[in-house]
Amino acid sequence: MTTETAYTFEEMEPQYNLRARRPDYDDAVVPDWIARSMAFQARSPGKLDLEYGSGQRERLDFFPACAPGSPILIYFHGGYWQRGDKSVYSFLAEPFVGNGVSVALVNYDLCPSVRISQITPQARRAVAWIRRNAEKLGGSPDKIHVMGHSAGGHITAMLMATDWASVGDDLPRDLIKSGIPISGLFELEPLRFSSINDGVRMDAVEAASESPMNHPPSTDAPQLIVCGGAETDEFKRQSDDYADACATASRIIERYTVPDCDHFDELNALAKEDSVFFRKVLQLIKKG
């Protein structure tokens, strides 16, 4: 449930304004990701800008593994629901594709042109489209896994709580075989007391209705809840609270800390085939 704590801007701003903590974000972090992603796109038989809906940003990139019927990992980017693009994150697909996992990277509409409450339904449409077209794409409709970073972690958690029968009669309850939210946002009320909310424009009602902490998972699919060791205390708390809330005797929840990594460097760790982080995700997918 959402907390009754009276948050203040002075407390929450340094906890959630992460770009202010990385002055090299625009000049080094993102350009490096883009260069690595463009290089992978150039040598991959991926399919870019596939339409999963009629909206301008309802597009996804799909990078197939060599073997047909492979597991499919669906990735939702971060950016506090206000910025970001799938094309920046193709580099994350490379190690998974090389290990027999197809990867879909999804775009979605951004605030303030839409409300945050409109983004989760869009993500559901993307997942449903991928399942319905999985065999044509080269993957398995019965081996779908979802991952997201930051705002994408929020989307991941909301997808884990989805009643898929309400999305489509052809969709099974256990459509998603595992979830991997990375530095996810599971309680949105604290964000209202930061500059992040300037573009998102949440009120208390929307923050509560869109918080995964108020929407438990709909199945017992396992989850790997990830947060960097150098993240802020609030991000660590959010991951801890969500992991504690989701774990049951029948639902396996693992809480993993990426050593020495902040909000951005944890993605670099994920892209390394020899990292513990990557191996954990790959093992979870291969089990599903």
What does each C-alpha distance from 209 to 43, 80, 167 come to in angstroms? 42, 17, 18
Residue 4: per-residue pLDDT: 53
Structural domains of the chain in order of their starting residue, each with its CATH number:
9-287 (3.40.50.1820)
Residue 2: per-residue pLDDT: 43
**With contact defined as beta carbons under 8 Å apart, do 44 and 73 qualify?**
no
**With contact defined as beta carbons under 8 Å apart, do 40 and 251 qualify?**
no
Whether 6 shows a pLDDT value over 90: the answer reads no
* 115-149 per-position pLDDT tens digit: 999 999 999 999 999 999 999 999 999 999 999 99
Which run of H or E residues covers position 247?
A: none
* 203-249 per-position pLDDT tens digit: 999 999 999 999 999 999 999 999 999 999 999 999 999 999 999 99
Q: What is the mean pLDDT of the chain?
A: 96
What band does 288 get if pLDDT is binned at 50, 70 and 90?
A: confident
Which run of H or E residues covers position 97?
A: helix 93-97
Residue 122 has φ and ψ, to the nearest 5°, of: -65, -45
**With contact defined as beta carbons under 8 Å apart, do 36 and 91 qualify?**
yes
Whole-model pTM: value is 0.96
**Adjacent-strand bridge partners of 103:** 63, 73
